[in-house]
């Protein structure tokens, strides 16, 4: 499989990428490549569990179930604007009917980017995270959002974390944290490099364990465990770090008080007069949604609160539960009775197909 660079114009033709702000599209371009697959080759097999959001850009891809042709996706078509067989594990096998070009984006990264983009769309300018190099600023934020540990942080807290971070500048050879000290901050490298060393009984000067660069984090272990620092971090170059105080770090890792429900519970709430509130983008909503659901994209929630009824219960949903948890947090914070569909519509759709 060969690959070549992708353009913003290509990404803007795809859903839900067309809903990302320009700066996030520019960041995604740097992390994405256009792959090719020859005719007759398999892109993925039925049962595949890799979390990839795949789009056909050109050529024809045939979807097969039990060896029988289910559908054909042609690059440039209306169907090709949506992810291919998005439910994990895959319910079909995808095989190139002709030579194809396709995109494969990490699904967790895309979902976190959409959440951050939409929850922070009105406040992102207030963050004040200036490094003197905007491309590097984008890089450290995007790198942080990609980390698996950061995926576990409640989406509703993502914005608060960035808002409470403070930038500190250091010179080469500055000791940022010292082995044996009490933990006080969580750090992210946004400019320059650091080295990690650990002192041992046989080596008082310290053994070098790693080098850290833009987007790398350190300091969390001591904060989580309330233990002392287990290594020394020294600046290898002049640089800048973003840091988050211990209490903020610990409190923002705790999930907001959200009411989670499974599909059966959600259907029961709706059956008693509740309302499905889908916070995905309109293009995603049109592709598939729960019957009688209303669609208010996450970034519009604050503006549309006046159209919602506080006497009603709402089941907030999206593909995975990430964006909907942020939406439900906003509603609950403002006096609404909102629930979150656990694991999102993708999992619910998969469970319904299994029952059928």
Establish how many alpha carbons lie within 13 A of residue 268's alpha carbon, considering only the half-sphere containing its beta carbon. Answer: 6
Q: Is the pLDDT of residue 89 over 70?
A: yes
CATH code of the domain containing 288: 3.40.250.10
Across the range 119-125, mean pLDDT stands at 42
To the nearest whole number, what is the mean pLDDT of the chain?
83
Which residue among 252, 282, 309 closes a domain?
A: 252
- The reply to whether 138 and 230 lie within a common domain is yes
Report if residue 7 sits inside a domain: yes
- The reply to whether 133 and 233 lie within a common domain is yes
- The reply to whether 209 and 186 lie within a common domain is yes
Report if residue 116 sits inside a domain: no
Q: Kind of pairing, strands 313-317 and 239-245? A: unpaired
pLDDT of residue 97: 96
**d(C-alpha 333, C-alpha 270), whole Å:** 21
- The reply to whether 16 and 98 lie within a common domain is yes
pTM score of the predicted model = 0.66
> In terms of pLDDT, which residue wins out, 329 or 207?
207
Q: How confident is the model at residue 308 (pLDDT cuts 50, 70, 90)?
A: very high
Report if residue 171 sits inside a domain: yes
Which residue among 225, 252, 279 closes a domain?
A: 252
pLDDT of residue 352: 56
> In terms of pLDDT, which residue wins out, 100 or 86?
100
Report if residue 114 sits inside a domain: no
- The reply to whether 273 and 194 lie within a common domain is no
CB atoms within 10 A of CB 156: 22
**Range of 336's domain?**
259-355
Report if residue 117 sits inside a domain: no
- The reply to whether 136 and 241 lie within a common domain is yes
pLDDT of residue 149: 54
Q: How confident is the model at residue 110 (pLDDT cuts 50, 70, 90)?
A: confident
Per-residue pLDDT reduced to its tens digit, 177-205: 999 898 899 898 989 999 999 887 777 77
Q: Kind of pairing, strands 232-235 and 259-261? A: unpaired
Residue closest to 102 by CA, chosen among 17, 32, 49, 8: 32
Beta strands in 59-182 (DSSP E): 60-65, 68-74, 93-96, 100-106, 166-170, 175-177
Which residue among 187, 221, 252 closes a domain?
A: 252
Report if residue 113 sits inside a domain: no
Determine contact, residues 73/60, Cβ cutoff 8 Å. yes
Across the range 15-43, mean pLDDT stands at 88
């Amino acid at each position: 499989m060969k690959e070549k660079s992708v353009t913003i114009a290509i990404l803007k033709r795809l859903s839900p990428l067309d809903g990302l702000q320009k700066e996030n599209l520019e960041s995604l371009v740097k992390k994405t490549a256009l792959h090719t697959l020859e005719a007759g080759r398999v892109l993925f097999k039925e049962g595949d569990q890799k979390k990839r959001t795949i789009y056909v850009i050109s050529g024809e891809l045939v979807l097969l179930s039990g060896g029988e042709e289910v559908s054909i996706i042609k690059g440039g078509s209306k169907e090709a604007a949506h992810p291919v067989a998005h439910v994990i594990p895959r319910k079909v096998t995808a095989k190139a009917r002709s030579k194809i070009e396709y995109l494969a984006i990490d699904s967790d990264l895309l979902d976190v980017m959409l959440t951050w983009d939409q929850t922070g769309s009105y406040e992102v300018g207030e963050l004040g995270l200036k490094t003197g190099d905007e491309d590097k600023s984008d890089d450290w934020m995007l790198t942080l959002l990609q980390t698996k540990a950061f995926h576990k942080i409640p989406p509703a807290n993502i914005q608060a974390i960035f808002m409470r971070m403070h930038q500190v500048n250091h010179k080469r050879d500055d000791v940022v944290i010292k082995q044996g000290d009490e933990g006080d901050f969580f750090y992210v490298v946004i400019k320059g490099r650091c080295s990690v060393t650990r002192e041992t009984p046989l080596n008082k000067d310290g053994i070098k364990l790693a080098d850290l660069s833009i987007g790398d984090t350190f300091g969390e272990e001591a904060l989580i465990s309330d233990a002392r620092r287990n290594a020394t971090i020294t600046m290898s170059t002049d640089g800048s770090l973003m840091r988050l105080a211990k209490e903020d770090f610990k409190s923002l890792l705790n999930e907001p008080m959200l009411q989670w429900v499974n599909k059966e519970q959600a259907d029961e709430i709706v059956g008693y007069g509740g309302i499905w509130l889908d916070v995905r983008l309109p293009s995603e909503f049109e592709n598939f949604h729960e019957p009688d659901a209303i669609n208010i994209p996450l970034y519009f929630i604050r503006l549309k609160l006046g159209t919602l009824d506080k006497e009603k219960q709402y089941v907030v949903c999206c593909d995975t539960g990430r964006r909907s948890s942020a939406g439900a947090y906003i509603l609950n914070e403002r006096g609404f009775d909102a629930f979150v569909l656990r694991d999102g519509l993708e999992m619910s759709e998969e469970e319904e197909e299994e029952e059928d």
